[in-house]
Amino acid sequence: MSAVAAVRQESRPAQGARKAPDEFAALDRLGAVVTLKRDETLFREGDAAQYYFKVVQGAVRSCKLLRDGRRHVGDFYLPGDFIGLDAEQDYIFTAEAIADATVVRYSRRSVEALAAQEPKIGRRLLSLACHSLNAAQQQMLLLSRKTAEERIASFLMGIAEKKGGMQVTLPMTRTDIGDHLGLTMETVSRALAHLKHEGVIELKSSHDVRIRDREALADLAEAY
């Protein structure tokens, strides 16, 4: 078993469309393992996009900065998720580890060569891109029209759905969540406190949420 396959073994891919399909098994031979400490950078916005990545362990965030420092977190990547599939020439966002993380790195050139031989790979890449596009459209609706509480509800529902449970672990800080949802960390904190007060969620610790009333949370999230 190759080193990469061994690492894969440890990973627990998320369910649904983001799951690593069998077609990608051939890719493992191409992959190199990368480990990151908390807050370490995987790549920077503007770097030449030479690689695709897949998260094996830990968590990664993508972010973009405005000149004056305002930050936006595009997405959070958990074990099983691919990073960089949207890259054209250069990466258009920076990727950093939220917590200590293990990531597999694939050369885009090799993947493209493989895709040329095996059409399934190409189709799967397209399917993953479409799925990201759908997620992005949901997120734009959220950022455009939802209230703070609805944003938090949508966010929690999204993670719970991906993990498939009522128990949700948030490896990121309140600031990260805020920058992802277009809010400040204070507003995130208050919205969570309010949901807790209403009995919709339970905060076992600031990073461990249990959904007590799924109905109510889904109702707030609207889009679900």
Partner DNA sequence: CGTTATTTTGATATACTTCAATAGGGGTGG
Partner DNA sequence: CCACCCCTATTGAAGTATATCAAAATAACG
**Is residue 33 involved in binding a second copy (CB under 8 A)?**
no
Q: Mask: binding to DNA, 108-147, rule CB under 7 A, as x and -?
A: ---------------------------------------x
Residue 142 in contact with residue 184, Cβ under 8 Å?
no
Tokens of residue 54, six digits: 């897949």
Count of residues binding a second copy (CB under 8 A)? 43
**Is residue 133 involved in binding a second copy (CB under 8 A)?**
yes
CB nearer to a second copy: pick between 89 and 205 = 89
DSSP tag of 26: G
Dihedral over Cα of 173, 175, 179, 184: its sign: positive
Give me the residue label for tokens 């966010």.
155
- Tell me the residue type at 56: V
Q: Mask: binding to DNA, 154-193, rule CB under 7 A, as x and -?
A: -------------------xxx--x---xxxxxxxxx-xx
Q: Mask: binding to a second copy, 176-205, rule CB under 8 A, as x and -?
A: ---xxxx-----------------------
**DSSP string of 43-104, one letter each residue:** E-TTSB--EEEEEEEEEEEEEEE-TTS-EEEEEEE-TT-EESTT-SSB-SSEEEEEEEEEEE
Gap between the Cα atoms of 20 and 82, Å rounded: 9
CB nearer to a second copy: pick between 1 and 66 = 66
- Which region, judged by CB under 8 A, interacts with a second copy, from 1-9, 95-103, 174-182, 192-200? 174-182
Q: Least distance (Å) from DNA to the CB of residue 96?
A: 12
Query: Pick from a second copy, DNA, none: which does 6 bind, CB < 5 to 8 A by kind?
Result: none
**Is residue 148 involved in binding DNA (CB under 7 A)?**
yes
Query: Pick from DNA, a second copy, none: which does 66 bind, CB < 5 to 8 A by kind?
Result: a second copy
Angstrom distances, CA of residue 174 to CA of 82, 94, 184, 206:
24, 19, 8, 9
CB nearer to a second copy: pick between 117 and 167 = 117
**Is residue 27 involved in binding DNA (CB under 7 A)?**
no
Gap between the Cα atoms of 38 and 220, Å rounded: 33
Gap between the Cα atoms of 17 and 2, Å rounded: 26
**Is residue 172 involved in binding a second copy (CB under 8 A)?**
no
- For DNA, the binding residues (CB under 7 A) are 38, 147-149, 173-175, 178, 182-190, 192-193, 203, 205-207
